[in-house]
Structure 1
Amino acid sequence: MIRRLTLALALVALSCAGGSATAAEQWLPVRETSLELKPGSPLDFSAILPNRAIDPGHRLIAGPTGQLVYAGAPQTPLRFACASLAWGPASGGYPDHDGADRYARQLAMHGYNIARLHFVDASLMAGRARDFDFDPQTLDRVHYMMAALKNNGIAWMIDGLTSWRGGYGGHDDGWDPVSNLKLAVHFDDAAFAHWAALVQKIFTTVNPYTGTAPIRDDALALVVLTNENAIEFDGVTRDAPGKPPYDAMLAAPFNRWLKQRYGSTAELSKAWGGLGGSETLEDASIRLPNDRYADSPRMRDLQAFFTEVEISSAARMSAVIRGFGYTGLISTYNNWPTVQTALSRRGLDAVTMNTYHDWIGGYEPGRKILQTSSLVDGANYMRMAAASRWLGKPLVMTEYDHLFWNRTRYEAGLVMPAYAALQGWDVLCRHGHGPIVLRYGEPYPHKQKMLPYAIALDPVARAGETLSALLFRRGDVARSRVTIPFAVRGEQDLSNDMQAREPESLTDLALVGRIGLQDAAQLGDEIAVLQPRSANSAATIIARLKASGALPRDNLTDVAAGVYQSDTGELVLNRPRRQLRLVTPATEALAFAAQNLPVQLGLLSVDAAEGDGLIALSSLDTPASLQNGRRLLLIFATDAGNSEMKFRDWQDKVIADYGRLPVLIRKGSVDLKLARTAARWKLSPIGLNGAVKPMLASGEGAIAFHLSNDVASGPTTYFLLELDDGARP
C-alpha cells in the first residue's frame, strides 16, 4: 500500500502512525470479488436471527415501556439492526428487480431487519427538469426495493425530506447543502406547501408491488419528517466565509417573538443588558447575532425562539402525515445533541439521532480527520446520543459511524452495539451508501474505492456490522438494570451558549448504566442528575448507586482513573489503556492497543498481538453459549485501505488521493487461548463472502493458537472454530 507520496515518507509515517505501527507494517490485497453469502455459511445469520413476516400483528409500535414492539406482542421489546440505503447516481442508485431481490435477501442473511431509505427525494429528482417530475424508472425501482425488503421481513423508516432541493427540478446538486429549503419549511408557507406536496407524492402513491401506498403499509415503522432540520444546525451546514451566520428570513419572525415576549424595547434592553444604538422592537430592527459562537443573552433568546418554532413545525408537519392516514411513529431533529434541540424533541413519538466519531464532510482531496481513538474520549459520540434520548420513548440511531480512514475504526463494531444494548436503544443504523455490496468492482464512482460512508467496501466496518448483529440484535449484551435520569426543567435550562449540551463529565455515566432525559417534575426519589448540572459529579452518583445497592459494591468504575464497568459487569472501558472488554455468555470481545496485552476476558485470553485491533469470539449455536457451543465465529479486524492511497501529512490525517481497488487489509496476528478443552478442534478461515476455507490449525484437548489474518486463501476478518461432540468445559 503506497501510503505516502514517497517511500521514505511512508517509512517515517508508519513508524509514527500509532501504538504498534512500524516500518514493517504490511498490507494484504483482498482477493474476493463476489461478496454474496451462500445460504448456510457461518456468516448467514438468517437461521439464528430470523425475520418475521410483516403483517398487522408485526407492525412496529412504541410499547408501554417506550421501546419498539410488535403490535401483536406489546410486552416484548425488540432490537433492530438497520441497513442504511442512501443510494444515488455516484453509488449506482437503486438496483433493478433482480438486483433488489438478491440485495434484500442478502440483507436478511446478514441480520438486518429494518432499512432506512435516505435521500429518496434526491434519487427521484436526479436529472429532472420539472418540479415533482419523478424519474419513472427510479420510482419503479424504489417501489420494487420496498417490496423486496418487506418480503424478506425488513421494515422501513423513511425521511419525508432529505435533499436540500426537495422536489424542485432543474438542479443536479440534490445531495449538497446548497439551498435553505430545510430552514424555509419552518417559516415560509410556500416552502411548507412544497414539503407537503413532496411527501404526499412519495408516501401516498400506491406501490404496484405491494398493492398499497407506503403510508398505509405495515412495513413503514418510522417517518423522519425532515432529515437534520434543526434550525441552528441547518445554518452551520451552510456557513460560508463572508456570509452572515443566520439567514435573513429569521429576522422578522424573531422580532415578532421578542415583541410578544418583552413588549417594549426598554424591557428587552434590560433583559439583554443593552441593545445596539439603532435597535428597537417597535420598528422590528432587533438584529440576529453576528457570531453564533459568541455567548450572549441575545443568543439564549434565539435558542428559546428556535425551540418554539421547531415544536410548532413538528406538530404542523405531523398533522400533514397523519392526514394521509399514517398511524405509526414520527420523529425529526435527528442530530445536533444540544440542550436546545433536546427541548424541541421533547414531545416526539421517538427520538432519532445522528452522531459520528472523527467526522468528515466530503470526499475531495485536502479533507482532514483527527485520527483519534473513540476509547480515549470514552466513546463520546455514543454518550452524546445517550444524553439526547428522552426516557420512555424509543431511541433510533438513524446514523452513526467511526469513519474511514481513521485507523482505530475497528472500535466501532464493539463500542456502538454493546453500549446501545446496555442503554436499551431500539434501532442501530451505521450510515453508508449501503451496508453491503454484492461484489467488488461495480462501475460507479463511490464503489471504485473505499470512502467515508462507504462501509460496504470496508472489511473493518463489515466485521463490525457482523459483530453488531450478534451483540445488539441477537441480544448478547444485556440492557442495564440501572437508569439515571437527567432532569430537564425546560427553557430555564438554556444558557447563553448555543452549543451547550449535557456535560461530558456527567454523560460518562452512560458507560455504567442507562441514561436519558426526564421532566424534572416527574422525578421521584431516584438517584438522578439534577439541575444545575454543575452541582453534580459522576463519581458522587456512582458512590450513591453503590450505597443504594443499585450498583454492585465491587463494580470497577473509577472515574478519576478513567475506568468504567457497566452495572451488568459485561463491559469494562479503560480509557488510558485504550481498551474495551466485553464478557457475556454468548460473546467475548476486546478492542485493544497491542502494547496493553495480555488480557484475560472470561473464557478467552488475548496474550499478544502484532498491531492493534478487535478480536471477538461468538457462539453460532442455539442457544448461544461459549461455554458449551461447538461452532464459534472468531472476528479479527485490524485496518484496511485502498491500493495507492496517499496523504499530505505523516500522520495520515489529510487525504491526497483515495487510491483504487483492490482493498488492502493490514496484516496482523494474535495469540489466543480458550479456557475449554475438546476431544478435537479445528480452526478455518472464512472468506469475506462467508465461504469456509481450508483448515489453518487443529488440535486435541487444550485450545490455543497463533492467529494471523494473512492466510493462503487471502486476508480475511473471519474464522470458524469448531469443537467436536466430545467438547467439554
Structure 2
Amino acid sequence: MRYCLLLLSCFVSLGLMSDRLSAQPVVRQADGENWLAYDQSDVLVQPGSALDFSHLIPTGIAGQYGRAIINTQGMLVFSEQPDKAIRVMSCALPMFEFEPQDDAQVIAFAEEIQRAGYMAVRPHWLDLYLMIDAPADFVFNPKRIALFDLFTFELKKRGIYLILDVVSASTMYKSIDHPFNNPHRKTMNKLQMYYDSEYQQHWKQGARILLNHINPHTKVALKDEPQVLYIAARNEPGIGFQMNLALNNKEKNKVYIKGISNHFAQWLKERYRTVGELKIAWADAGEGISDFSDVSINSKQLPLLMDNDYQRYIVDTEQKTYAWMNTYLKNLGIRCPVIDYNNGMSVQCGVTRSVLPMIDMHAYHDHPKGWGVKALLHNNSLVGSSAAMAYRLSGTRQLGAPFGVSEWGNPYFNPYRHEAGLVMGAYGALQNWQMIMQHALPVELSSIQPPRFFRVARDPSLKAAERMATLLFAPNVVKPAKGVVGIKLDENIVGKLGWGRTLPSEITKLALVSQLGIQLPDTDRAKVSTDLILEPQRGATVITLPGAEVANDTEQNTAATGQAIALLRQRGVLGHTNKTDVSKGIYQSDTEELTIDAKRKFLSVNTPTCQGATLAEPGVVASLDHVTMTNEGVAVACLLASLDGQSIAQSQRMLLLVASNSSATDATFSEDGKQVLSFGKLPALIEAAKVKLVFKQAPKGNIQVWALRANGSRSVRCETSQQSHGPLSVTIDQAKLGENITPYFEILTDSAD
C-alpha cells in the first residue's frame, strides 16, 4: 500500500499570525455574572482529602528498587524489578521560580509535590538557579545548593525521583546576578558546543561540578544517586532548532550562523573533497560556490539538494556530540540513561535520536507567539484538532525504546485548555508512554500572582486539567492499546520525504487507535511485534517558533488513513463494535475506552474507574458505562474518578472534576480574544459551568456531594436528586456556588464519610 502524505508538523502554525491584533479594541474577557472569583488563599492540599493523590506514588524511598535501566523489552524499569515497567507522572519545576526560601518551606514544598501524585521532578534551569549570586564561575551559590540538597533529600524520602538537565541555560555555569538580565542571556552556547572546544570544556566542567556534588543529607553524589531517573545532557539543543532561532535575527546572531556554516563547510570538504564534486551533487544549488568557505546557512529554506546534505551534517554532528557527552558522563560514573535532543519533529531528528537509549520529547498545542503582554494565540481546540499534540508526539516515538514527554502544554489563555488533561493523560496511557509532564510549575505554596503562560498552579483550568491527567495516566486506569503500528524509515525513505520534514497526520492519527512508533534499521532497540507497517511517501515543512516547533496541517489523505484502519479491522486489531469512522473524523481506540470526534470537539474516556468527556456545547451528552454527563452551559471537561480502587459502579468515594475556562480579575484581551493586553490581578476567575450527571446504577447508601476548596477540604454540600427506584442525578451548577465556586467535587456514601 502506498500513501501520498503531506508532511506537516506538530501543531497549529502560529507563524501566520499578525501583530495587527494589538490595534484592536480592548475588551475584558471575564465580564459578566457567569465569571466568579476562585478562592486560592490556601492551596496546600490537606492530607487525606480527595485532592491528596499521594497514594499514586509507591511507598518507600526513591532508589529502593535499584537504578533505572532499560530492560530487554525496551522499557524503563528499576534494576531490581526488571519485569515491571515504570509509569511516572512528573512535575516540571522551573528553578528560577523556586519558591522555598528556608528549610520549613522546602519540606512543605516536597509534601505538596507528593500530595499532587508526582513520582518525579524535573528541576529545569537548575544550572541557572545555582549560579545566581554565585561567588565565582563554576562555584554554586552556597545558600541555593543547600536548599536544593534538602529539597532532593525530602523528595527521596517520599519516593520521588529526579530528571536532571546538565545544561538548560545559556549561562553555562557562569556566575550571574539575575536569571535573565545578564550578559550571557542571549548567547547560543548550545550551537557553539558543536564547533568550539572552549564551550565543550565548559559543558564538561559544569557536568563535573554538578554530578560530583555530594548531598550532605544523603552522603551520596548525584552521579551515584539511584534517585536520578535519567539525565538530559542539554535542553532543546538540536542544530536545526537552534539555527532557526538564530536566523530570526541574522545580524545579532551572525557569529553563531558563521560558526555552524564553517563547520558544515568542513564537513562538506571531507565528504566531497573537491568543490567540483560538490557542485555536481548540488546541481543548481552549487552555483556561485568557488570554495567550500563560500557555503553559508543563511536561510531557513535551503535548496533541496543542499538541505539534504545539511540535514545529513546535522545528524552526523549531533550523533558525534551525543557520543562524546555520553562517554564523558559514563566516565564520571553515571549509570542511568542519558538522553539529548528532546525536541524537534523532523525525520532528521528521528534519525539523530536513533542512537539514544530512550526518547524524551516536547510538544505544545497553540503555543503563544511571544512570552508576555501582546502575545498571540489561535484559541483553537485541542480536541477539535483530533488531539494533534498527542498523535504527533507518537510519530516521534521509536518502537523498542522507552518514551517520555518532559514538556507538554496547552497554555493560558486558550479557552479550551481545560481539554488538555484528558487528552494527554488518556492518550499517553493508551500509547504506553512511561512519563508525561505538563510545563510548568504545577505546584506552589501560595497563590500570589494571576494566571499567565506556563504557570499551571495559578491557572484553575490547567490545574484541574493536570489533576485529570494525573488520574488517567496512573497505572491500570486506561488500558494500553492492543495493536502496534510501525512507521518504516530508512535513508532512502527519509531522502524522499526530505530530511527536514516531519510525518503526516494521515499516518500519525493512527495513534488515536493503536500504539504507534517509527522503526529505523540498524538501531539498538528491543524487537517489537507490529500489526501493521506503513511507509510514508512524502512530507511537509517544520516551522520553528521560540520555544516550539509548529506547522500547518491543511492537507490530509483521509483515504490512506481509511485503508490503514480497514487493514487493522481485517487483522482483528479493531473489533466489529469499534466506532472508528475516518470519513466523519471519529477515532476509537482499539480498547474502545477512548473515542474522539473532532468535529464536535468531543472526547470520551470510559474505563471502569475513570469516566469523563469534553462537552463543548450546551446539550452535548456523553453516555458512559456508569454515568451520563450532559452539558447545560459553557464548554467544559469533566472526569469522574474512583478514589477507593473500586469501579465507579461500586465506589464509595469519588472525585468529580469540572473544568472550564478561567482568567484573572481585570485581565484584558483584543476584541477577538486572541491577544493578551494585560494579565490582570488576583483573584483568578472561573467561567461557571453547569453539568448534569445521571448515574445508571445508583451507588449504595446515601450519597453526599461536596464542593471542595483549593486545599481539598469540604466547603458546601451540593444537592442530589433521586426519584423512587429511579436513577441518581447530580447537577453541578457552579454559578450557584458563588464564593464557593470550584472545579472539584467529592462524591461519597455515608459509609465512606
TM-score by length of 2: 0.89
Residues 608 and 430 of structure 1, relative CA distance in 2, 3 Å threshold: closer
In 1: Cα distance, 2:185 partner to 2:257 partner: 14
Question: What is the one-letter code of the residue matched to 1:642?
Answer: A
Question: What is the one-letter code of the residue matched to 1:437?
Answer: E
Find 1:606's aligned residue among 626, 629, 635. 629
Q: What is the aligned partner in structure 2 of residue 139 from structure 1?
A: 145
Partner SS, residue 696 of structure 2: strand
Conservation of the 8 A alpha-carbon contact between 1:165 and 1:174: no
Q: What is the aligned partner in structure 2 of residue 192 from structure 1?
A: 200
| Cα deviation digits, residues 103-158 of structure 1 (max 9, x gap) | 11121111111111110111112234732132111111111111111111100010
Residues 671 and 328 of structure 1, relative CA distance in 2, 3 Å threshold: same
Find 1:530's aligned residue among 527, 535, 541. 535
Partner SS, residue 360 of structure 1: coil
Aligned-pair distance for 1:407?
Answer: 0.7
Question: What is the one-letter code of the residue matched to 1:689?
Answer: N
List gaps (5 residues or longer) in structure 2: 1-20, 540-556
1:306 aligns with 2:317: no
Question: What is the one-letter code of the residue matched to 2:407?
Answer: E
Partner SS, residue 310 of structure 1: helix
In 1: Cα distance, 2:528 partner to 2:243 partner: 35
Q: What is the aligned partner in structure 1 of residue 453 from structure 2?
A: 452
Question: What is the one-letter code of the residue matched to 1:529?
Answer: L
Q: What is the aligned partner in structure 1 of residue 170 from structure 2?
A: 164
| Cα deviation digits, residues 151-182 of structure 1 (max 9, x gap) | 11100010010001111235645588611201
1:653 aligns with 2:653: no
In 1: Cα distance, 2:203 partner to 2:23 partner: 51
1:597 aligns with 2:620: yes
Find 1:229's aligned residue among 213, 219, 237. 237
Moved more, 290-299 or 504-513: 290-299
Find 1:264's aligned residue among 271, 274, 279. 274
Partner SS, residue 193 of structure 1: helix
Q: What is the aligned partner in structure 2 of residue 550 from structure 1?
A: 573
Aligned-pair distance for 1:344?
Answer: 0.7
Partner SS, residue 510 of structure 2: helix
Partner SS, residue 419 of structure 1: helix
Find 2:399's aligned residue among 371, 388, 391. 391
Partner SS, residue 355 of structure 1: strand
Aligned-pair distance for 1:267?
Answer: 2.2
List gaps (5 residues or longer) in structure 1: 15-22, 442-447
TM-score by length of 1: 0.91
Find 1:440's aligned residue among 432, 436, 447. 447
Aligned-pair distance for 1:236?
Answer: 2.4
In 1: Cα distance, 2:423 partner to 2:657 partner: 15
Residues 123 and 478 of structure 1, relative CA distance in 2, 3 Å threshold: same
Aligned-pair distance for 1:570?
Answer: 0.3
Partner SS, residue 65 of structure 2: helix
Bigger relative contact order (CA 8 A; separation at least 6): 2
Aligned-pair distance for 1:44?
Answer: 1.1
1:150 aligns with 2:153: no
Conservation of the 8 A alpha-carbon contact between 2:461 and 2:661: yes
Aligned-pair distance for 1:537?
Answer: 2.1
Conservation of the 8 A alpha-carbon contact between 2:472 and 2:610: yes
Conservation of the 8 A alpha-carbon contact between 1:28 and 1:667: yes
Conservation of the 8 A alpha-carbon contact between 1:56 and 1:71: no
| Cα deviation digits, residues 422-464 of structure 1 (max 9, x gap) | 00100111111x21112222xxxxxx22111100111211112
| Cα deviation digits, residues 585-634 of structure 1 (max 9, x gap) | 00101012124612212211122321001111111113x31111111111
In 2: Cα distance, 1:399 partner to 1:408 partner: 19
Aligned-pair distance for 1:472?
Answer: 0.4
Residues 589 and 305 of structure 1, relative CA distance in 2, 3 Å threshold: same
1:78 aligns with 2:83: no
Conservation of the 8 A alpha-carbon contact between 1:292 and 1:498: no
Partner SS, residue 92 of structure 2: strand
Moved more, 172-181 or 507-516: 172-181
| Cα deviation digits, residues 197-220 of structure 1 (max 9, x gap) | 001101111111211101100100
Moved more, 167-176 or 308-317: 167-176
Find 2:326's aligned residue among 309, 318, 322. 318
In 1: Cα distance, 2:386 partner to 2:706 partner: 35
| Cα deviation digits, residues 327-385 of structure 1 (max 9, x gap) | 10111100011111111100111101010111125433211111111112111111221
In 2: Cα distance, 1:59 partner to 1:435 partner: 27
Question: What is the one-letter code of the residue matched to 1:158?
Answer: L
In 1: Cα distance, 2:681 partner to 2:752 partner: 48
Partner SS, residue 158 of structure 1: strand
Find 2:108's aligned residue among 80, 102, 123. 102
Question: What is the one-letter code of the residue matched to 1:655?
Answer: V
Conservation of the 8 A alpha-carbon contact between 1:54 and 1:153: yes
Q: What is the aligned partner in structure 2 of residue 706 from structure 1?
A: 731
Aligned ranges 1:395-474 → 2 under 5 Å: 395-432=403-440, 434-441=441-448, 448-474=449-475
Question: What is the one-letter code of the residue matched to 1:463?
Answer: A
Aligned-pair distance for 1:95?
Answer: 3.8
Partner SS, residue 324 of structure 2: helix
Conservation of the 8 A alpha-carbon contact between 1:354 and 1:397: yes
Question: What is the one-letter code of the residue matched to 2:197?
Answer: D
In 2: Cα distance, 1:96 partner to 1:173 partner: 20
Find 1:181's aligned residue among 171, 175, 189. 189
Aligned residues: 702
Question: What is the one-letter code of the residue matched to 1:162?
Answer: S
Conservation of the 8 A alpha-carbon contact between 2:493 and 2:537: no
Residues 537 and 392 of structure 1, relative CA distance in 2, 3 Å threshold: same
Q: Identity percentage over the alignment?
A: 25
Conservation of the 8 A alpha-carbon contact between 1:289 and 1:298: no
Q: What is the aligned partner in structure 2 of residue 642 from structure 1?
A: 664
Conservation of the 8 A alpha-carbon contact between 1:608 and 1:671: yes
Q: What is the aligned partner in structure 1 of residue 262 from structure 2?
A: 252
Q: What is the aligned partner in structure 2 of residue 583 from structure 1?
A: 606
Residues 59 and 292 of structure 1, relative CA distance in 2, 3 Å threshold: same
Conservation of the 8 A alpha-carbon contact between 1:485 and 1:529: yes
Aligned-pair distance for 1:398?
Answer: 0.8
Aligned-pair distance for 1:60?
Answer: 2.2
Question: What is the one-letter code of the residue matched to 2:268?
Answer: L
Residues 6 and 705 of structure 1, relative CA distance in 2, 3 Å threshold: farther
In 2: Cα distance, 1:454 partner to 1:94 partner: 16
Find 1:667's aligned residue among 667, 681, 688. 688
Aligned ranges 1:196-215 → 2 under 5 Å: 196-215=204-223
In 1: Cα distance, 2:656 partner to 2:415 partner: 21
Aligned ranges 1:364-379 → 2 under 5 Å: 364-379=372-387
Moved more, 475-484 or 706-715: 706-715
Conservation of the 8 A alpha-carbon contact between 2:719 and 2:730: yes
Residues 578 and 682 of structure 1, relative CA distance in 2, 3 Å threshold: same
Conservation of the 8 A alpha-carbon contact between 1:292 and 1:299: no
Hey, which bits of structure 1, 4+ residues long, moved more than 6 A? 4-9, 521-525
Conservation of the 8 A alpha-carbon contact between 1:681 and 1:699: no
Q: What is the aligned partner in structure 2 of residue 686 from structure 1?
A: 708
Residues 496 and 512 of structure 1, relative CA distance in 2, 3 Å threshold: closer
Residues 659 and 271 of structure 1, relative CA distance in 2, 3 Å threshold: same
Conservation of the 8 A alpha-carbon contact between 2:60 and 2:157: no
1:274 aligns with 2:284: yes
Question: What is the one-letter code of the residue matched to 1:135?
Answer: N
1:363 aligns with 2:384: no
Conservation of the 8 A alpha-carbon contact between 2:285 and 2:305: no
Q: What is the aligned partner in structure 1 of residue 484 from structure 2?
A: 483
